[in-house]
Structure 1
Amino acid sequence: MTIDLDPPAVKVDPLAPARLGPITLRNRVIKAATYEGLTPKGLVTDELIEFHRQPAAGGVGMTTVAYCAVAADGRTSPGQIQWTDETMPGLRKLTDAIHGEGAAVSAQIGHAGPVAAAKYIGYPALGPSRAFRMTTQNFSKPASTADIARIVEAHANAARRAVEAGFDAVEIHFGHNYLISSFLSPKVNKRTDEYGGSLANRARFALETARAVRDAVGDRIAILAKLNMDDGVPGGFWVDEAIQVAQWLERDGSLDALELTAGSSLLNPMYLFKGDAPLREFAAVMPQPTKLGIRLVGKHFLKEYPYRDAYLLEDARQIRAAVTMPLVLLGGITGKATMDLAMEEGFQFVAVARALLREPDLVNRITDENHNPGLCIHCNKCMTAIYGGTHCVLRAQ
């Protein structure tokens, strides 16, 4: 008789309830933070609420509001939501609406840093070092140590506000070369002080921020962070350093989960998305001189990468092998097959973005076993729709 000393692995159902820190989600599917473009005056609108209510009614475990700036100089654009007395009633109305659909709701908090368009927000674009950025057409101003301390505390205050507004979680933005991610990147961060040079120094801002948020809210809400694994440019932050940063964050105990991402809004924005690069559509919605620049050299900056399901899995698998904390797999999660794959690979949650723009009821359809292959064709034209409210251009509104 043969004795199997290794018990069969327990199959994890992505549609079953799951713990995330101090909260329980009704399933393991999270709507990823997707820039909504629905707050022209920096206030919650009915359209923003409906944007998140639809996937909540459609069955996701949690939806993520993007992007809530922790400071006035941390906005990417003038209409960005900030954590102020004026925005709190609308944020409470939003969280109540999502809870009414049985879902949890998270707020992405962060500081845009060099991604900010200074001429539109009225503040200098902060960065680790001074540099000119084609995407924003302005120079970044080196953040002082006083700026860093102020922004760390601003994240803590944002998390406190999130609790007051009824959010179940916050997601700290450590990705895409927003401010903290730009400090992580050796290509962007040329500092020689305690926040530059070695990886330990470049990661200091991230670790201080995560700890400040945890100290501010304790276990009242879940705390996630969105961490770059790869900037998508030579000499940038890459998975070998991301593994070490993930291990440091795990050791500190400040986070309940990490969501793994890639790409640089400064240097290679299409690296995250994969699929088509809709240059003509981008040029049509951009002001001059950006419109002309896209027409002339856009193909060299908005590069096109082949799409495949679960396209970030190869890098994310390396971080999964290095830490035990819960991880969220993002990138090309389009249906039950990729959700099951993520669970089999040891990820506790999946994050879905474009597929839910196309099919807000995706999770309910899967649950009802009435789900054909996902309808999203990865044309990325939704990215060009942000100025009139992000939506799938192929879906009837």
Structure 2
Amino acid sequence: MTHLLEPLQASSLTLHNRLIMPPMATAKSEEDGGISQAVLDYYQEKSNGGYFSLIIIEHSFINPKGKASKNQLSVADDHVLEGLRSLAEVIHDNGSKTVMQINHAGSATTQEIIGDTPVGPSPVPHPRNGNPPKELTKQEIAGIVQSFQDAARRVKEAGFDGVEIHSAHGYLLNQFFSPLTNKRTDEYGGTIHNRIRLHLQVIEAVRAAVGNDFPILLRLGASDYKEGGITIEDSQIAAKEFEKAGISILDISGSFLGYTSPITSEQGYFSPLTEAVKKVVSIPVILTGGVTESLAAEQLLVAEKADLIGVGRAVFKNSQWAKQAIKTLVTVSPN
């Protein structure tokens, strides 16, 4: 059997193969962030056939001040629950497991989107949009932890198989992790352990809301690829702490450069990051980044660069990608 088609157990999550559809924003929600028919149709099409063992739903805002963009999905209040239940059912009916990604944009949003000044760990302009945020108070930080907890409860109530905490692509938790945007001098800034304090508080709060058997994933922006930013050594330390705190799967991606790498554009271009993280943890690690061929995905698994492979843009363009990829692998390796 090929590596890509092997099952994997992570916490209480049983995956029938190693192929993941990572979160990709669609901007298809209702104006208030509710689940629209367009969202249901999109995930129906992408999950058809159950070829992905896991589908991670695009980032969804935990409170209105953390909304990243127009028509972003919401997990910010209970009125979205019915729509979320429908979304989970669509994917389950097609034979895949599904996890919802929850997020706070921090300074990676605009006043136009949230109707207020964006917030961040420090009043440092966001490296991508240049907007200087308002520095969060400790009381406001506690409120954000509460919002993550409430969002995770809703994800579980809606019938999803797990929840993913977003700390990548320059959003709020990523802003706390990165020395480029976190200039705080209190217990949330300075050392690596202080810069992940908020992450650990969020993990603890989410765990309290969902119980011990519900998988919690964390998407980590593992490198800023910039002097003075997050290093892979930082991410190895963080990854060990996140595993200790109860994270079930680590989903590795980029930081302020988003889902791109300045070093290479070859398939699986985040593999140096996932390989380094995989060396220091025993939980599964997801690799995404430019994978467009099933044989490349297979080779990345064989080389032990990761435990699970996320294929995003190729599936965005071609909904039949996973079906075709698995057929190719079975043809090449019939045993």
In structure 2, what is the equivalent of residue 288 of structure 1?
none
Query: So what's the TM-score if we normalise by structure 1?
Result: 0.78
Q: Deviations over 1:348-393 (max 9, x none)?
A: 2111110111222222212223899xxxxxxxxxxxxxxxxxxxxx
Structure 2: which amino acid aligns with 1:95? A
Distance 1:243 1:15 in 2: 28
In structure 2, what is the equivalent of residue 342 of structure 1?
300
Structure 2: which amino acid aligns with 1:72? P
CA contact (8 A) 1:176 1:231 kept: no
Distance 2:134 2:11 in 1: 37
In structure 1, what is the equivalent of residue 214 of structure 2?
221
Q: Deviations over 1:182-227 (max 9, x none)?
A: 0111111010000001111111011111122122112443210001
Structure 1: which amino acid aligns with 2:266? R
Question: Is it true that 1:75 corresponds to 2:34 in the alignment?
Answer: no
The 3 A distance-change label for structure 1 pair 144 and 119 is same
Structure 1: which amino acid aligns with 2:247? L
In structure 1, what is the equivalent of residue 284 of structure 2?
326
The 3 A distance-change label for structure 1 pair 118 and 135 is farther
Question: Is it true that 1:56 corresponds to 2:50 in the alignment?
Answer: no
Distance 1:230 1:169 in 2: 25
Question: Is it true that 1:89 corresponds to 2:82 in the alignment?
Answer: yes
> Sequence identity, in percent?
28
The 3 A distance-change label for structure 1 pair 305 and 118 is farther
Structure 2: which amino acid aligns with 1:13? H
The structural deviation recorded for 1:40 is 4.4
The 3 A distance-change label for structure 1 pair 188 and 137 is closer
The structural deviation recorded for 1:25 is 2.0
Distance 1:208 1:223 in 2: 14
Question: Is it true that 1:29 corresponds to 2:16 in the alignment?
Answer: no
Structure 2: which amino acid aligns with 1:54? E
Q: Secondary structure at the match of 1:102?
A: coil
Distance 2:126 2:178 in 1: 15
CA contact (8 A) 1:12 1:344 kept: no
Give the RMSD, CA atoms, in angstroms: 2.0
1:148 pairs with 141, 155, 159, which one? 141
Distance 2:170 2:18 in 1: 27
Distance 2:120 2:167 in 1: 14
In structure 2, what is the equivalent of residue 167 of structure 1?
160
In structure 2, what is the equivalent of residue 232 of structure 1?
225
Distance 1:220 1:36 in 2: 30
Question: Is it true that 1:18 corresponds to 2:23 in the alignment?
Answer: no
Structure 2: which amino acid aligns with 1:73? K
Question: Is it true that 1:185 corresponds to 2:178 in the alignment?
Answer: yes
Structure 2: which amino acid aligns with 1:343? L
Distance 1:89 1:309 in 2: 38
Distance 2:329 2:13 in 1: 29
2:267 pairs with 290, 309, 324, which one? 309
In structure 2, what is the equivalent of residue 361 of structure 1?
320
Question: Is it true that 1:106 corresponds to 2:99 in the alignment?
Answer: yes
More divergent stretch after superposition (71-80 vs 101-110)? 71-80
For structure 2, the 5+ residue unaligned runs are: none
Q: Secondary structure at the match of 2:252?
A: strand
2:187 pairs with 158, 183, 194, which one? 194
Question: Is it true that 1:39 corresponds to 2:29 in the alignment?
Answer: yes
Q: Secondary structure at the match of 1:113?
A: coil
Q: Secondary structure at the match of 1:213?
A: helix
CA contact (8 A) 1:81 1:87 kept: no
Structure 2: which amino acid aligns with 1:345? A
Q: Deviations over 1:286-310 (max 9, x none)?
A: xxxxxxxxxxxxxxxxxx7752111
Q: Secondary structure at the match of 2:34?
A: coil
In structure 2, what is the equivalent of residue 262 of structure 1?
254
Query: So what's the TM-score if we normalise by structure 2?
Result: 0.91
More divergent stretch after superposition (197-206 vs 214-223)? 214-223
Distance 2:20 2:87 in 1: 17
More divergent stretch after superposition (88-97 vs 132-141)? 132-141
Q: Deviations over 1:293-341 (max 9, x none)?
A: xxxxxxxxxxx77521111112221111122221111112222222222
Distance 1:339 1:201 in 2: 36
Q: Deviations over 1:86-134 (max 9, x none)?
A: 2111111111111111111111001110101122211321101012347
Q: Secondary structure at the match of 1:114?
A: coil
Structure 1: which amino acid aligns with 2:57? V
Q: Secondary structure at the match of 1:108?
A: strand
In structure 1, what is the equivalent of residue 122 of structure 2?
129
Distance 1:51 1:341 in 2: 30
